[in-house]
């Protein structure tokens, strides 16, 4: 990355990179996804045609220049979203999709427990005791646990989420990834206050209750803390008075990529255009992480640039006043 791109990554918590994957690579990946879906199968992210979106592009060089040697990805998440109308489906925030502003955006950090069963869909009454007991089990549907004893944290983490677009997302409403621009600075400060208060870091730690009992379904999940939500400048309110920050929607062409810091709240959005949204996500961690801490590394939550030697000069200059963080009050 050049200096301008690194400054954007520091300031915003993400940076977009044009034409990282070739048209041939994108076409091959799309064909493989559609072949699997046509057979009612789930495409596997560990196939070479998908791994090459990282391993056979400039992303390897870019990430190793920024992070040092990285663990080669063993697979990727293939995130497919189909066109849909605003619906009564209750999302993980505990709100109906149609009531959630900004194309249903409800941000999260990766690595958080999201319930062992599907989200409670009834907004007229809470879960029964049996439903609640089943939902509260571990691990969750995404494989994450609520706590990590011995680490002082309730969240797993990596350094960078690398997204490669496999569909045209150049207009809003195309299932765009939405991000809270600049909120990673506030997340870092928040994790430090949790650490100073004795921890643990993450949900169920200081000032971050995991469950939102005031959500319409009485069991919404706070996938990033209210302090970060309330620090954002711009947004909208639902009739119950809840503030929803306005995300920055990435407008990516097929083959474009985005590097997103783990500490930046993000989420996909609803597809209101005519074509499915296709994305490949790689979660990248440096080999320099201590043994046994590849997935659970609280020090990197409290110092979000500690694993980015290629960003050291930009970070030092920014912290001395050269680059102003964006997006926060």
Q: What is the pLDDT of residues 271-286, one digit of tens each?
A: 999 999 999 999 999 9
pLDDT digits (tens, 9 = 90+) for 104-161: 999 999 999 999 999 999 999 999 999 999 999 999 999 999 999 999 999 999 999 9
Cis-peptide into 139, omega within 30 deg: yes
Give the number of other CB atoms < 10 A from CB of residue 178. 24
Q: Which of 126, 86, 81 is nearest to 104 (CA)?
A: 86
Q: Is 36 a domain residue?
A: yes
In order, the DSSP letters of 94-123 are: SSBGGGSHHHH---B-SS----SSPPP--S
Q: Is 327 a domain residue?
A: no
Q: Is 216 a domain residue?
A: yes
Q: Which tokens is 206 given?
A: 């200081």
Instruction: Identify the CATH number of the domain in which residue 46 sits.
Output: 2.60.120.620
pTM for this model (two decimals): 0.95
Q: Is 243 a domain residue?
A: yes
State the maximum Cα–Cα separation within the chain, in Å, rounded to a whole number: 56
Q: Is 234 a domain residue?
A: yes
Q: Is 324 a domain residue?
A: no
The answer to whether the Cα torsion of 141, 144, 147, 153 is positive or negative is negative
Q: Is 189 a domain residue?
A: yes
Number of independent structural domains in the chain: 1
- Domain range for residue 82? 3-319
CA–CA–CA angle 327, 11, 26 (5° rounding):
100
pLDDT digits (tens, 9 = 90+) for 202-214: 999 999 999 999 9
Give the number of other CB atoms < 10 A from CB of residue 171. 11
Q: Is 326 a domain residue?
A: no
Determine the 3-state secondary structure of 1 from DSSP.
coil
Rounded to whole angstroms, the Cα distance separating 329 from 327 reads 7
């Amino acid at each position: 990355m050049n200096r301008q791109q690194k400054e954007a990554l520091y300031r915003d918590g993400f940076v977009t990179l044009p034409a990282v994957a070739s048209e041939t690579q994108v076409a091959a990946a799309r064909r493989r996804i559609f072949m699997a879906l046509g057979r009612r199968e789930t495409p596997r992210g560990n196939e070479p045609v998908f791994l090459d979106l990282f391993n056979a592009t400039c992303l390897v060089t870019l990430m190793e220049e920024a992070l040092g040697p990285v663990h080669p990805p063993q697979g990727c998440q293939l995130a497919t979203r189909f066109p849909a109308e605003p619906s009564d489906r209750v999302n993980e925030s505990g709100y109906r999709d149609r009531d959630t502003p900004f194309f249903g955006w409800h941000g999260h950090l990766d690595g958080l427990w999201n319930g062992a069963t599907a989200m409670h869909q009834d907004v007229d009454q809470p879960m029964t005791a049996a439903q609640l007991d089943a939902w509260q089990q571990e691990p969750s549907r995404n494989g994450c646990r609520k706590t990590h004893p011995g680490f002082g944290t309730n969240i797993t983490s990596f350094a960078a989420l690398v997204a490669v677009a496999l569909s045209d997302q150049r207009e809003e409403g195309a299932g765009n990834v939405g991000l809270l621009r600049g909120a990673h600075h506030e997340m870092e400060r928040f994790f430090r206050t949790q650490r100073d208060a004795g921890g643990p870091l993450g949900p169920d730690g200081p000032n971050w209750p995991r469950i939102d009992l005031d959500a319409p379904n009485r069991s919404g999940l706070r996938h990033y803390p209210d302090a970060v939500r309330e620090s954002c400048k711009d947004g909208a309110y639902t009739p119950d008075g809840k503030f929803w920050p306005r995300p920055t929607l990435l407008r990516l062409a097929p083959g474009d990529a985005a590097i997103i810091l783990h500490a930046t709240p993000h989420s996909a959005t609803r597809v209101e255009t005519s074509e499915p949204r296709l994305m490949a996500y790689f979660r990248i961690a440096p080999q320099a992480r201590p043994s046994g801490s590849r997935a659970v590394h609280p020090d990197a939550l409290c110092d979000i640039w500690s694993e980015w030697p290629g960003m050291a000069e930009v970070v030092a200059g920014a912290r001395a006043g050269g680059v102003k963080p964006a997006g926060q009050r």
